[in-house]
Amino acid sequence: MADAPTTPAKPTFHPALAVSNIKNHISVTLEMENSQYGTWAELFKIHARSHKVLHHIIPPPKGKEKPAPKTDEEVELWTTIVATVLQWIYSTISNDLLNTIIEPDATATDAWDRLRDIFQDHQTSRAVTLEQEFTTTRMEDFPNASAYCQRLKILADQLKNVGAPVANSRLVLQLVSGLTEAYKGVGTQIRHAKPLPPFSEARCFLILEERELAAMVSHGSGSAMVASVDDAPLPSDNTSSRRGKSKNSGGQNSGTGRKGGSGRGSGSGKTTGGRGNSARSSGGQQ
């Protein structure tokens, strides 16, 4: 009896290999200056977990280790996945960090650990710098309330990443203390609230106040424009009045010119004629 034909093994496919552009999933580029390591690391871990490669950057606890690859196909797949995760790391950090951590034959775990050590070593100095920037942030330096609130939230997140978390009450009070004069009213309401509202709620108050102020300015500009139009004299009245005056003055000048000219002309003729007769009479007498 002939042996039944064996079914060829299906090619092994891993979900991590389906990612064509890691920046579509991790939009943050890790840099030394921006201290977004915590945000970047969290996004990276979420992405790695969803694609079943978290154990390639963070070793699992004892007793839950992944079995080592045995067959050639398993070894090849494991090596490919390691290279893929390492490529994700290199593609989401700045060139300065890349040149700092890159080494020949490094694994994804090696690169991950080097980045963690770099940012943990700079925590104290970064905390001092961020704290100073946080306490000196003012609304007048931003184009609108949304940009001002966003900057405060980013600084608070960065302080948390370097081991200096900012409590909600302090974040809200810093928001209020940096407001411009136009927002002092809503700032007083937020500050006197018991308990202080969450930062997200305080931000909503500020955005609504900004919209109301913009509406008031817009309405005031429209009213002023209507008032200026109502106070201005009608163009047709001015034009008619000016035209009437021009006609009257022109008629008087014309009439005067005609009368004066005829009077002077006839008078001058009579005088000339009289003088001529007198001359002739004198000649006859002589």
Structural domain span for residue 143 = 124-221
User: Does 2 map to a domain?
Assistant: no
pLDDT tens across 40-79, in order? 999 999 999 999 999 999 888 887 777 788 888 888 888 9
pLDDT tens across 230-242, in order? 555 555 555 444 4
pLDDT tens across 251-277, in order? 444 444 444 444 444 444 444 444 444
Considering its fold, how many domains does the chain have in total?
A: 2
pTM value is 0.54
Tell me: do 145 and 129 sit in the same domain: yes
Tell me: do 149 and 105 sit in the same domain: no
User: Does 113 map to a domain?
Assistant: yes
Tell me: do 26 and 117 sit in the same domain: yes
Tell me: do 158 and 145 sit in the same domain: yes
pLDDT of residue 24: 87
Q: How far apart are CA 205 and CA 186, in angstroms?
A: 7
**End position of a domain, from candidates 96, 121, 146:** 121
**End position of a domain, from candidates 170, 200, 221:** 221
User: 225 pLDDT band (50/70/90 cuts)?
Assistant: low
Q: How far apart are CA 267 and CA 258, in angstroms?
A: 14
pLDDT of residue 38: 82
pLDDT tens across 94-142, in order? 999 999 999 999 999 999 999 988 887 777 888 898 999 999 999 999 9
User: Does 13 map to a domain?
Assistant: no
**End position of a domain, from candidates 72, 100, 121:** 121
Helices (H), the chain: 37-50, 72-91, 95-101, 108-121, 123-135, 145-161, 168-177, 184-192, 199-231, 235-285
Contact between residue 184 and residue 206 where contact means Cβ atoms under 8 Å apart: no
Residue 280 has pLDDT above 90, yes or no: no
Tell me: do 74 and 102 sit in the same domain: yes
Per DSSP, the three-state class of 93 is strand
Residue 244 has pLDDT above 70, yes or no: no
Tell me: do 107 and 194 sit in the same domain: no
Neighbours of 234 (CB within 10 A): 8
Tell me: do 105 and 129 sit in the same domain: no
pLDDT tens across 141-169, in order? 999 999 999 999 999 988 887 889 999 99
Tell me: do 150 and 163 sit in the same domain: yes
Q: Is the N-terminal amide bond of 233 cis, ω within 30° of 0?
A: no
Tell me: do 117 and 178 sit in the same domain: no
User: Does 74 map to a domain?
Assistant: yes
- With a CB cutoff of 8 Å and minimum separation 6, the contacts of 8 are none
Residue 248 has pLDDT above 70, yes or no: no
User: Does 63 map to a domain?
Assistant: yes
- With a CB cutoff of 8 Å and minimum separation 6, the contacts of 41 are 116
pLDDT of residue 187: 94
Tell me: do 140 and 169 sit in the same domain: yes
Tell me: do 132 and 215 sit in the same domain: yes
Tell me: do 213 and 135 sit in the same domain: yes
Between 38 and 133, whose confidence is greater? 133
pLDDT of residue 98: 94
Structure-block tokens of residue 253: 């000048």
Percent of residues, the chain, with pLDDT higher than 70 = 72
User: Does 39 map to a domain?
Assistant: yes
